[in-house]
Structure 1
């Protein structure tokens, strides 16, 4: 009888150990510089990821947009929602340990799917900059749009993070009246995502960059273009323009980070004149996701779509000229991984 009891105890322990061993957790990664980023965050909902983000020990946290869900032309309401987010315990702790940068998307901009037409964008920009602790004497306080660049210099090399504003200047979308999709691509050459001033600024940033890696933060997806929601693909000429700019600039290691979609995925394509593949890493969302996701076309997708709460990690190795991209869930669970050399 005693042997039978010990046998069952052994089986239980064995199965328990086996389960622990096969749990998909991130392996420790040697990193000269680490970026953590994410999007789609409701301050009224629990975000189980803040402790995991802090534990990943990133050098910077990047908001990819939809920091709050205000959707309002009431400045006081917008301000209070930013203050509410600042009071979230996990985020408040993160801010004491990790530098924070980022951009907005439509819901923190103030108008769902909004662009250049939003009448509250001037004061909304100031509220956003207040939340991001941008000094009052910063040039970003007087420019139109929240775009900015951030340079990080390390003994091993340099990283430039270019944060775009895909809201302030973005012109009208074309509704799709023929299918169940929300939007369809504009007539080629019609409309803009970035606007004249921001395009000129971006060209200067890339053309003059000496960084080992250049990270472009876009609140909306750049490569995935067939789902009918907001994306650069609604302005196909703007997609071509950015691809051509990246290639002609000879900027090193350009990567695009995006959000908005409530799913996470890797997209990758080859660009004429570019010596390495262009990757668009979408990480979304932090507090709520497209849990009923059942599939959508993306000709550039690499791996599987993740539709559980997650954030993105990028580990940079200057010596190997490589980046490891990770989708990370609650309790540090590794949900997806991609490695690329440059």
Structure 2
């Protein structure tokens, strides 16, 4: 199914043969292209890497659960990362595009894990090694894997802000009911997702941004909040704080990317005093999905849920300030699409 919010002329992507090491990226038809995905079991074949390559993105963003390694054994986690690192398809990805990203619980080391995880420092080092983060990078000395990177193009900048929703996250409130939901929202104002330092950092990144597009990456969903699993909705005060910051910062064209759920969907909310709808594009998973999915409430959903294995693709038109968001399945099939103008 394709959901069209703002129709514009289709532009075939032919992203220029530009090394990711260059400071300025060439555009084709005015597009800067980003691919992203999550929920990738290193022991299962990923059939999508060739499709990612076919779309010639400038950037690949890991959205979390980049490997599955629920362990407190450093050797085991290192082994799992190395298995992923040396897969043929992924090696080609590394050759052709820049790679950034965050983690989620299964590459953090414990299901639904948060600030109390005993191995988080060791897990951070292994994650940064997998991401080839230089030894002098600030992430090597800070707590948490959050980071921002600005991509310069001939028609404007794209800023990608990658959040860490694990390292500082307060305990979740377990749901004791019989409705099948795992968690329920904390009382408003109780607990944090990002922690004080990361919130201050995020405010600085948004307040100082002059980018044409600002992409915020969260491993867990920001908008969908009724399913009873992990979501920003379990911390209502944090959601309100994020919306307030996006509005007050003046950062242009903020788009949110998320993963975790083993389904893919578009969610959208209209926020007062924000001139455009805020979209949360969830893409999950790469090697396995929630095949038994039979429906769940999401008051912000746009269009239909996709349960096929897929990755997300963003085509950011830097000149016309429009974006095409696509869920791409095996064989480079477009499974769902959303277009938005700003």
What's the TM-score once normalised by structure 1's chain length? Answer: 0.91
Match of 2:26 in 1: none
- 1:29-74, Cα deviation, whole Å (9 max, x unpaired): 5452000000000010011000000111000000000000001111
1:28 aligned onto 2:28: no
Inter-partner Cα distance in structure 2 for 1:241 and 1:341: 25
- 1:69-95, Cα deviation, whole Å (9 max, x unpaired): 001111111111000001111001111
Instruction: Give the secondary-structure state (helix, strand or coil) at the position aligned to 1:70.
Output: coil
C-alpha deviation, 1:28, in angstroms: 2.8
Match of 2:78 in 1: 79
Contact 1:32 1:156 in 2 (8 A): no
Match of 2:275 in 1: 275
Choose between structure 1 and 2: higher helix proportion: 1
C-alpha deviation, 1:318, in angstroms: 1.5
Instruction: Give the secondary-structure state (helix, strand or coil) at the position aligned to 2:331.
Output: helix
Structure 2 gap segments, 5+ residues each: 1-9, 14-28
Match of 1:315 in 2: 315
Match of 1:233 in 2: 233
Inter-partner Cα distance in structure 1 for 2:254 and 2:56: 23
Structure 1 residue runs of 4+, over 6 Å off? Answer: none
- 1:287-311, Cα deviation, whole Å (9 max, x unpaired): 0000111100000000100000000
Match of 1:199 in 2: 199
C-alpha deviation, 1:223, in angstroms: 0.2
Q: Which has the higher contact order (CA 8 A, sep 6+)?
A: 2
Cα RMSD (Å): 1.0
Contact 2:30 2:319 in 1 (8 A): no
C-alpha deviation, 1:198, in angstroms: 0.1
Inter-partner Cα distance in structure 2 for 1:285 and 1:85: 15
Inter-partner Cα distance in structure 2 for 1:327 and 1:145: 29
Inter-partner Cα distance in structure 2 for 1:96 and 1:334: 25
Contact 1:69 1:107 in 2 (8 A): yes
Instruction: Give the secondary-structure state (helix, strand or coil) at the position aligned to 2:256.
Output: strand
Q: What aligned pairs does 1:241-280 form with structure 2 within 5 A after superposition?
A: 241-280=241-280
1:111 aligned onto 2:110: yes
What's the TM-score once normalised by structure 2's chain length? Answer: 0.91
Structure 1 gap segments, 5+ residues each: 1-25
Inter-partner Cα distance in structure 1 for 2:205 and 2:341: 23
1:136 aligned onto 2:135: yes
Match of 1:16 in 2: none
Match of 1:49 in 2: 48
Q: Rg bigger for which structure? A: 1
C-alpha deviation, 1:27, in angstroms: 7.6
Instruction: Give the secondary-structure state (helix, strand or coil) at the position aligned to 1:84.
Output: helix
C-alpha deviation, 1:123, in angstroms: 1.0
Summarize the Cα distance change of 1:292–1:244 in structure 2 as closer, same or farther, 3 Å threshold.
same
Inter-partner Cα distance in structure 1 for 2:143 and 2:42: 27
